[in-house]
Homo-oligomer: A and B are copies of this chain.
Amino acid sequence: MATIKDIANKLGIAVSTVSKGLNGASDISDEMRQLVLDTAVEMGYASKKMRSQGKRKVCILIENMDYENIDQFGYEIIVGFKLSAARRHWDVSVIPTNLNMQTQEKFDTYMLKNGYSGAFLLGFALHDDWVKQLHKTTVPTVLFDNYIDNNNHVGYVGTDSFEGINTAVTHLNDLGHTKIAFLNGSKNSMVSEQRYQAFVQSMESCGLTPHEELIEYGYYVPDCAKYHVPTFLKNGATAIICASDLIASGVISEVTKMGLRVPEDISVIGFDDLPIASQLNPPLTTVRQDRIDLGKSAFLLLDGLVHNVTISKMLLRAKFINRSSTAICSSTAISKKTAEKTIIDEV
C-alpha cells in the first residue's frame, strides 16, 4: 500500500504538496493536483479514512436507469442498498453520471478524489469508459447485470436470468402454447445474451422449438413493441415473453391495436414486476426481480469486496407472478384471426 511519502518521493515534491493535492486544497495548481491524484491512483494509494473499519463513504453511480420515483426500476434498488448500508453506518451518495463525466476523469481518480471506498454501478453498459476501466481498478466495485473477468475487486449482482425465463416458458408450455415469441432487451448486453440462452434452453427442455423468427431484440421502452409484434403474429406466435414490463405494456397495446385480445388470443408475460404491472389491463403476469433484495445484495457484495472476499457473482431468485395476461392456448382461433388480419394488412 503506497503512502503519501511514496507519492512525494516518486514525484520529487514535498509531502505537504501531495497532501494538498489529495485533500483538494486551493493553494496548488490544478495541474499539480491532477498529477498528484493520477500518481496516487497509479500507486494504489488509499487514504486512512477510505481504509478505516468504521464509517465508510461509498457511492451509487447511476446512468441510463430511471430511479427517482417509486414506479421506476432503480428506486427500490437504491432503497435496499441504503437500508443495508444504514445498519452498518455507511454513508451513501447517489450520483447520476453521464458519458461526459466519464471522459473527463478516470474512475479511480474520481473515487480517490471524493474519498469513496467503494461503488455500486447501476445502468452502465460494457462499452462505457468507466466500465472498461474496471478491468484494472483496485476500488471495490459492484456492477448490476454486468460482469468483469479476472479482477478480484469487481463483482456482479443480478437476478438469475435462467430461472426467470425458465418459469415463464414452463408456465406457457403448461398452458399449451408451442409457438412462443421472445422480445428481448437491447443487443450487446450481457443480461440480454443470458436471457436469450435461457429462452432457447428452456424451450428445448420443454420439448419446444425456439424459432429464430420469433426471437427479437428491442429496447426497454413500450415503443419497441410496434416493430416486432406484427411479425411475431404473422409467424404464428400465440404467446410473447418480454424482457421488461414496459416492453410488455407496449406489446399489449400493439396486440389490441391489431384487433386481438390479451390473454384470450395472445398471452403476454413481462419481466421485473414494476408497480405498473398490476395496473395494466389485463394485470400483467410477469417475473419479479426483487429490487429491494438486489440493493441489499449489492451491499452485501460490496461489503465482501471491501474486506477482500473475492466474490465475483451473486444471483437472486426470480419469482413468477401469475396475474391475468396469460391463458390457455387456443391456437386454431389465433391462426385464423391472424391470417385474416394479415390478408387485410396486405390488401
CB contact between A293 and one of B296, B303, B310, B319 (< 8 Å): that residue: B310
Bound state CA distance, A307 and B80, in angstroms?
12
Residue of B nearest to A303 (CB): B300
Known A300-B303, A303-B300, A304-B296: A313·B152 in contact at CB below 8 Å: no
- Chain A 276-287 per-residue mask, 1 if CB under 8 angstroms from chain B, else 0: 000000000000
Q: Which residues of B contact A224 (CB under 8 A)?
A: none
Bound state CA distance, A98 and B310, in angstroms?
31
CB contact between A311 and one of B152, B297, B307, B312 (< 8 Å): that residue: B297
Most buried by B among A160, A309, A315, A317: A309
Bound state CA distance, A315 and B150, in angstroms?
13
Q: How far is the CB of A317 from chain B (nearest CB, A)?
A: 4
Bound state CA distance, A315 and B300, in angstroms?
13
Q: Check A152–B317 contact: CB distance below 8 A.
A: yes
Q: How far is the CB of A89 from chain B (nearest CB, A)?
A: 14
Q: Check B296–A160 contact: CB distance below 8 A.
A: no
- Chain A 287-327 per-residue mask, 1 if CB under 8 angstroms from chain B, else 0: 00010010011001001100101111111110100000000
Q: Which residues of B contact A311 (CB under 8 A)?
A: 293, 297, 300, 314-317
State whether the Cβ of A38 lies closer than 8 Å to any Cβ in chain B.
no
State whether the Cβ of A163 lies closer than 8 Å to any Cβ in chain B.
yes
CB contact between A314 and one of B152, B303, B314 (< 8 Å): that residue: B314
Q: Which residues of B contact A163 (CB under 8 A)?
A: 149-150, 312
Residue of B nearest to A160 (CB): B312
Q: Check A315–B312 contact: CB distance below 8 A.
A: yes
Which chain A residues numbered 145 to 202 have a C-beta less than 8 Å away from chain B? 149-150, 152, 160, 163
Q: Which residues of B contact A296 (CB under 8 A)?
A: 304, 307, 309
- 10 more contacts with CB within 8 A, not counting A160-B312, A296-B304, A312-B315, are A149-B163, A150-B163, A152-B317, A293-B309, A297-B311, A300-B311, A311-B317, A312-B317, A313-B315, A314-B315
